[in-house]
A and B are shown apart, each in its own frame.
Chain A
């Protein structure tokens, strides 16, 4: 896939298959501007793909002791990478080219921020997150 057309769909999924936070962004590498270039029909597919990959994650999460499960699922040319938090919150990234290492760094940063969000006394688990701060992490690595 050409670098400029690479787009990402990032979602944090709670314990009841509910999305807590969603973001779409394009790549920042190779002069990308970070604007997602999903076609309209791809946008719901992203959600379907992320949602269906939960099946695979439920299998994998007991087999691995890592929090970062790498690419867990593939649909046509689309990969799904997953990072599992201790509280069974899934950080999912739907992307179209496999690159484990940058995604790990991205997830680590996001996990950091998510932990900080959790520390907010007004925030409860499985509550939707409105802060746009997670997008900033993408800028660094993806």
Chain B
């Protein structure tokens, strides 16, 4: 199930229409949302494992976070064509299509068996020095991994949540389900993972390939390509980025103005000069508008870094105030041309290139390093170095680690092995990646390259968890706990790289949670640890708190008593999250949390808990599920008393609703058999306008606690 996370373009304007009804009341819509979500949570939570689609959702977020990056480097004339189409540049045009490569992509793993991927993706990024994205490249070191990105992610989520909040208040129950569950947490995770900075200790953000494009308008095409190749290589890229990435040459043909035969001839010439990694992209240069015959909306990029998406949302907001539609359209033929190009590039150039490199590095470096000879070599080098290098001024050890830049040169075996591991990881060969990460960790450790050690530890755990190996208690205690702890320590204490620490923790938490059972408890523990980092601003905190509750909820007990489950802990964290949501003014989220947690506390005799929950219900406008029974009863009573012709009993309003509610109540009675009503209290009916169905506001009754008995301790 693909939950549409990104709000549709019009959602921003929903604000304008949402307040149409003067009788608009917070509570009125809650009755419906509250009951459905909570009933689902009441009865759905008994399964031992997570539903299939949720597992897929989380896995795909993690898979798509670590994908090959492809730099886009184009000549001016290409961007001219694109600008005529109403888009800023080629990069913006093709980026959304890289996120889902059409069709099935096959890659071979280190064993030679092929693995098909249905959802392979690549991430585009601007070439270094090419204007807009230049900032991405000057990160350099650990400073790039600190928490600068986090407030932005938070702000973005806040915006999204606010829009969702407005939608929920105005829409029917069924549509809101998506927004209250884990959808926002996944969005948070995705935004967190979408902006990997370029750092020396990992190569995920280093380009795997570079797309070099010219257009048919170019007068000296081959020379321009050479020029682009040269400028691309001479750019101000940090020294630790390997410049031997794949070059992919694209000729953009202008369908509307230029002669295809000339372009084909030029393309043949390109092929002769630059080999097979070439593509002829046929685009129309005219502006496409909605009314055009084959217009399709430009796909939205789901992996925009938070800063860019924020900027886009803001500009869109401004535009819509001016009454302009900002949805962009392109020709259908263009879309299919771009999709074909990306598919060809990935399937025929990028993946074979990666496979070839992985194989050769594997042969040349890894096996030498792992074999007996390699061990002797590294040992003797270490042994000899203590005497040999004393005379040199270079450094105290013979290691390849450069202390001044905190990095390895890209040609050193260490850097290449890290690259090998990262590339294997991107091609989802978890087993190989795990092996290599495991090997290089000790190398880095010997060199005291702490940032690299932390990175390797982080990836060791993640790839281990992804291999799907059963997680034994020993593995948990000796590997996962130890490495996670060490990695966090290094990131936070040595480098203040909070972003890296948070990413490491949250990805691990998700994978542990998927493993279920006692791993889920471990997940909760590390999620709490990530809260202790204290780097997430408010929204992130609330989301993670809610996630802690979700992690605990995954752990199911055994037998009728649920022994060994963590349902009370889950409830407590959900309540804590609800409190935070209320403070943030996100009432729909708060109500969702309360819905999940309330059954655990129904009928509790803890006075302060009860009082606190009542306060929460009041603050968030939540109507307790367990009051629904009494709601109907009192409604009927009022009607019988002739209490008001204006009273529309919930049941009369909609036969189906009544039927559903009866069933739910029956189920509930089954589920909580033998439980006494919670506490005696006087009930008071109040009249609340009902706008659930969107038609003329009828009236319905609800009960509220007049008082709770305030027993002294």
- A residues contacting B by CB (< 8 A) are 17-19, 22-24, 43-44, 46-49, 51-52, 54-55, 58-59
Is B611 touching A44 in the complex (CB atoms < 8 A)? yes
A48 surroundings in chain B (CB, below 8 A): 572, 575-576, 609
Q: Which of A47, A48, A52, A55 has the most CB of B within 10 A?
A: A55
A17 surroundings in chain B (CB, below 8 A): 568, 604
Q: Contact check: which of B563, B565, B605 meets A19 at CB < 8 Å?
A: B605
- CB-CB nearest in chain A for B601: A51
Is B612 touching A44 in the complex (CB atoms < 8 A)? yes
Question: Complex Cα distance A23/B607, Å?
Answer: 12
B564 surroundings in chain A (CB, below 8 A): 58-59
Question: Complex Cα distance A18/B607, Å?
Answer: 11
A58 surroundings in chain B (CB, below 8 A): 557, 563-564
The contact sample of 26 A-B pairs, CB cut-off 8 A, is A17-B568, A18-B604, A18-B605, A19-B605, A19-B606, A22-B713, A23-B713, A24-B713, A44-B608, A44-B609, A44-B611, A47-B606, A47-B607, A48-B572, A48-B575, A48-B576, A49-B572, A51-B572, A51-B604, A52-B568, A52-B569, A55-B569, A58-B557, A58-B563, A59-B563, A59-B564
Instruction: Give how many A-B residue pairs fall within 8 Å (CB-CB).
Output: 45
Interface residues in B472-498 (C-beta closer than 8 Å to A): none
Question: Complex Cα distance A19/B566, Å?
Answer: 19
B571 in contact (CB, < 8 A): yes
> Provided the pairs A22-B713, A24-B713, A48-B575 are in contact, do residues A55 and B608 lie with their beta carbons within 8 angstroms?
no
B557 surroundings in chain A (CB, below 8 A): 58
A22 surroundings in chain B (CB, below 8 A): 713
Is B565 touching A47 in the complex (CB atoms < 8 A)? no
Interface string of B569-590 (1 = CB under 8 A from A): 1011001100000000000000
> Provided the pairs A22-B713, A24-B713, A48-B575 are in contact, do residues A55 and B568 lie with their beta carbons within 8 angstroms?
yes
> Provided the pairs A23-B713, A24-B713, A48-B575 are in contact, do residues A54 and B608 lie with their beta carbons within 8 angstroms?
no
A44 surroundings in chain B (CB, below 8 A): 608-609, 611-612
Q: Contact check: which of B567, B604, B605, B612 meets A55 at CB < 8 Å?
A: B567
B608 surroundings in chain A (CB, below 8 A): 43-44, 46-47
A59 surroundings in chain B (CB, below 8 A): 563-564
- CB-CB nearest in chain A for B615: A44
- CB-CB nearest in chain B for A48: B572
Is A55 touching B713 in the complex (CB atoms < 8 A)? no
A54 surroundings in chain B (CB, below 8 A): 568
Question: Complex Cα distance A18/B675, Å?
Answer: 13
Question: Complex Cα distance A52/B569, Å?
Answer: 5
Question: Complex Cα distance A48/B609, Å?
Answer: 7
Is A51 touching B609 in the complex (CB atoms < 8 A)? yes
Is A55 touching B609 in the complex (CB atoms < 8 A)? no
Question: Complex Cα distance A19/B552, Å?
Answer: 23
